[in-house]
Amino acid sequence: MAAPPRPTKQRSRGAFASVLLGIILALLAATVILMIVYPDEARELLQDSGLREAVEQIEREDAHGGRAQYLDAVAPRDEGVRELAIEITRKCKEQDRGCEASRLLTHVASKIKYVSDPRGEGDFVQPPMRTVELGAGDCEDQTILLASLFEAVGIRTLLAFTDNHVYAMACTEEPIAKRHLGKGAVSYAIDGGELHCYPAEPTNPKARLGQEHEHEGFLHVADPVDGSIHQFVREG
């Protein structure tokens, strides 16, 4: 006996799903072509349609190899962050970047206890003021807090990622005076030597500015504010 025919309603649903999938694929293809041929117009269209932010976030994640979550967590404009940064650096002279960076590093290194992330899939990233409230966090949390404090008082900051670690770099136009640096301090030049960047390792309770964390080399160095990627040249 021949099998009974499938209900008309089920066939209709299958046909509708196929048509819908075809439309979606056609729209995606048209969007890609538009972005290649008319990139400026495509960005305006995406912005008008509310998709631009999603596209930019995907591009940001791709550019930073999955590290964008750490860059995005840096929050120098948080009121609590700025208030804390100003309080810590209150005794520094105006625009004394060495004094400010040194005091901020000492505060985070001495006040924030290193505690590993809870077990589970993916990293556990805390907002900077939550790290202050808890008085604890892992290297990413400590670095996010320190970078937020640096940027809150106008210190250009970069995040340096190694194969298993991340820490902040405090960058200044003029070299920082030795009195603010630790023993054996090193610095790195970026942008053709226009900026001098000093390691700021917050996981060591006795850390001093410029003392480098032991590693085999940088995998990725990025600005948490504008997302730019940089290469370092060691100065000494």
Task: Give how far Cα 45 sits from Cα of 37, 51, 171, 183, 230, Å.
Answer: 14, 9, 38, 55, 31
Q: Please state, in angstroms and rounded to a whole number, the distance separating the CA atoms of residues 168 and 199.
A: 6
The DSSP code for 7 is P
Residues paired with residue 166 on neighbouring β-strands, in sequence order: 161
Surface-to-core class of residue 206, CB atoms within 10 Å of its CB (0-12 exposed, 13-18 middle, 19+ buried): exposed
Total-model pTM: 0.74
Which residue matches tokens 């960058």?
Answer: 171
| pLDDT at site 50 | 54
| pLDDT at site 49 | 54
| pLDDT at site 12 | 55
**Domain ranges (residues) in the chain:** 68-234
Q: Say which CATH topology domain 68-234 has.
A: C8orf32 fold (3.10.620)
| pLDDT at site 190 | 82
Backbone φ, ψ for residue 161 (5° rounding): -105, 135
Residues paired with residue 160 on neighbouring β-strands, in sequence order: 167, 221
| pLDDT at site 193 | 78
Counting as low any pLDDT under 50, the low residues of the chain are: 1-10, 54-55, 57-58
